[in-house]
Amino acid sequence: MVYRLIDKFILCGLSVAALFLLFGEGAGRYKIVQNNEFTVACILGVVIALLATEVFRNAIVSSAILLGAGALSYFIPEAAIAIPAGVYGVFSDSRVEAILTKYHIQKNASKNDWEITSERDFWIRILLLVVACVISARSYLILLVPVAVLLAVKTVYMHRKELLLTEKFDAVRYDAQQSLRLKNEIANNMDMQVRNATLQERNRIAREIHDNVGHMLTRAVVQLQAISVINQDEKTKPYLESVSATVNEAMTNIRRSVHELHDDSIDLSIGIHEIASAIKDQFDVNVSTSIESPVPNDVKGAILGIMKEGVTNIAKHSNGKNVRLEVVENVTFWRVLVSDDGKCTPVEFSRPSDFAALEGEHGIGLYNINSRAVSVGGRTSIQGGNNGFHITVTIPKKNGS
């Protein structure tokens, strides 16, 4: 638009100059002050014509301005100065942009199977150009007509070329963003594979220790107990007790290590997806986990237990279609959500006394959920009604978690 306005300022200045030079009165026809009462009207007419071609940018409007100014010039010669404005409008509308865009694309593709002269609109504009030249030749304005055409075509071509370059730039930028997204997905998948392999290896080591070393130490403990029973030598008794205590301590340490390895081998996100798979045949399940830092084993066990109880409760009682399982890590706590959209009797549990009343009744599952939350310092809130059944548990982070 800026380029078109500059062109029209230039065209307006040339047209006004031609008005004074060609139609002025006085010696040498250079007198600026004229007595012709149509001078001001003609200047306004040029300005209005240029504004009209900018506002409408339509070949019909521009053609009407061109032909109207040409017809009026037979009665008022000064009206011919509006012809270049009409010519500019004819060669700067959206249809010319489309023709030049097609030409630019064909040129860049090095294809010769399309000719610009095959366009019907092209020939219509050439005909209007000839008419404008014929009319303006009578008033010596024929030099302004090719100037108007050159300005219009130059601006339209530059505008379309700029748009095509912008589109190419946007396409390249979009491809770059897609490539970066794909690269990040591949990197995340590789990290997940490495993590899964690590967890599987930990689990394997835990099983090996439990099945081999654990059984051997258990047999050693039993044998030491048998020897202690049949031993009659009081001098060796303290030594046997010492060895038995050492083996028992080793057994305890190995058992603790095995449990820790096994707990570390459980990925919370994978565990939740495995729990969700149990009801995917009945419900549309949406699992969402947003966990950035390692989760302590006791919290991990509590969350998985809450999820199992919640999913079991949904499978038994829910009449809804959609289920949402969510774990979100915040700065100071974890938030666990088990929700479905089934309708139920309005209920609300949030106080310890509410859950205490459920012990031993049909709500044992809800009682267990609250017990697991309390075991790690958390709180439970349960709401049910026409909008579904929602279990929300907040578990505070310990220092260093």
pLDDT in tens, 108-162: 665 555 555 556 777 777 777 777 777 776 666 777 888 887 888 778 777 777 7
In degrees rounded to 5, what are phi and psi of residue 329? -95, 125
- For β-strands 388-396 and 379-385, DSSP reports them as antiparallel
With cut-offs at 50, 70 and 90, classify the pLDDT of residue 31. very low
pLDDT confidence of residue 393: 92
With cut-offs at 50, 70 and 90, classify the pLDDT of residue 322. very high
Residues forming a β-bridge with 225: none
What CATH number does the domain located at 268-396 have?
3.30.565.10
What whole-number distance in Å separates Cα of residue 157 and Cα of residue 144?
20
What whole-number distance in Å separates Cα of residue 85 and Cα of residue 88?
5
The dihedral sign for the CA sequence 94, 100, 105, 106: positive
- Residue 344 clears pLDDT 50, i.e. is over it: yes
DSSP result, 51-78? HHHHHH--HHHHHHHHHHHHHHHTT-GG
pLDDT confidence of residue 392: 92
Residues forming a β-bridge with 338: 325, 391
- Of 19, 359, 50, residue with least CA distance to 369: 359
The runs of H, that is alpha helices, within 209-230 are 214-230
Where in the chain are the domains? 2-173, 197-264, 268-396
Mean pLDDT check: name the lowest of 37-51, 128-142, 333-347.
128-142
Strands in 322-329's sheet, in edge-to-edge order, are: 284-290, 322-329, 333-340, 388-396, 379-385, 347-349
What whole-number distance in Å separates Cα of residue 50 and Cα of residue 9?
9
| pTM, entire model | 0.41
Q: What angle do CA 141, 145, 147 make, to 5 degrees?
A: 115
Bigger pLDDT: 388 vs 67 = 388
Q: Which amino acid is it at 27?
A: A
pLDDT confidence of residue 28: 43
With cut-offs at 50, 70 and 90, classify the pLDDT of residue 9. confident
Q: What is the CA radius of gyration of the chain?
A: 44
- Residue 265 clears pLDDT 70, i.e. is over it: no
pLDDT tens across 367-377, in order? Answer: 888 888 998 89
Residue with tokens 């219509």: 124
- State the chain's mean pLDDT as an integer: 76
- Backbone dihedral region of 27: left (phi > 0), alpha (psi from -120 to 50 degrees) or beta? beta
- CB neighbourhood size of 154 (10 A): 14
- Residue 224, CA distances (Å) to 218, 241, 243, 249, 320 in order: 10, 8, 8, 14, 60
What whole-number distance in Å separates Cα of residue 281 and Cα of residue 264?
30
CB 112 within 8 A of CB 72: no
For the chain, percent of residues with pLDDT exceeding 90: 5
What whole-number distance in Å separates Cα of residue 279 and Cα of residue 318?
11
- Backbone dihedral region of 317: left (phi > 0), alpha (psi from -120 to 50 degrees) or beta? alpha
Cβ-count burial of 63 within 10 angstroms (0-12 exposed, 13-18 middle, 19+ buried)?
buried
Bigger pLDDT: 61 vs 210 = 61
- CB neighbourhood size of 197 (10 A): 10
CA within 13 Å, CB half, 103: 18
Instruction: Kindly state the average pLDDT of the residues 189-211.
Output: 67
For the chain, percent of residues with pLDDT exceeding 70: 77
Residues forming a β-bridge with 285: 323
- Residue 32 clears pLDDT 50, i.e. is over it: no
